[in-house]
Structure 1
Amino acid sequence: MKKLLASTVIIASMTGGGVLLSATSASAAQLGSVNVQKYCEQNRGALQGNVSTTRNNNDAYSWRCVYSPPPPFVGSSTYRSVDMNLACRQQYSPKAWAKPLNTHDANSWRCYD
C-alpha cells in the first residue's frame, strides 16, 4: 500500500498535481457510433417534433434532444441533455460506455465495451 501511495505521489508531482488516466483502455473494444436520434426517441418520448440536434458541430458535448410541440400547441422548443453513456448501453450492451474521438467534432462519439 505504501508503494502504491508513493507511486501515486510521484506521478502526481510529475504531472503538475494531476494523475494521468486513460479513458480508453487497450482492452476496450469499439462497438460503433452513437444513435442519438434513437436515444431521444426512447428517453424523451417518441412524440412528433422530438429530434436530436447539435447546438455546435465543433463541440462533441453539444448534443441535445429537442421537442417542439406540434400545432396547435405552438411555443418554444425544449432542449434536454443527452446521456451518451446511457445511449451506448441501450444501443449495445449494459457495460457499454461512450467517448468522443475528438472533442471538437460532435459526430465523433463512439461506444466501447
Structure 2
Amino acid sequence: GLDNAGKTTILKKFNGEDVSTISPTLGFNIKTLEHRGFKLNIWDVGGQKSLRSYWRNYFESTDGLVWVVDSADRLRLEDCRRELSTLLLEERLAGATLLVFANKQDLPGALSKDAIRE
C-alpha cells in the first residue's frame, strides 16, 4: 500500500511487537512469522512515492500480496487504486493471491469495506 497506510504497524501487531514508535519504512523489512503451523516470509516494503518504482524488485516467488489501504484517507484513494492496478499488471504477480486490507476502520470518516471494494 501507499505510505502511511499502516503496513508496518499491522505486521508488528501481528507479531506481538511494540507499535508505540513506528517510523516510515525506507526500503524494506523482512519478517518471518509462524502462525498455526504456517511459516510466512513477509516483505514489508516502503510505500513512499520515491520507493514505488523499486517494488517490482520484490515480486520474484511471491505467493501472496497484502495490499493495505488507509480507509480514512479519502484524498489518496484514487492514487491507491491506480498503484494497485499497475501492480496487478506485473507478470511475476500473475499467480499470487491478493488480499486487500482495509486498515484504520476505527477512525472517524473511514470508508466501509464495500466502498473500498468499489
| TM-score, normalised relative to structure 1 | 0.23
Write 1 or 2 for the structure with the bigger share of helix.
Answer: 2
Which structure's CA Rg is the greater one?
A: 1
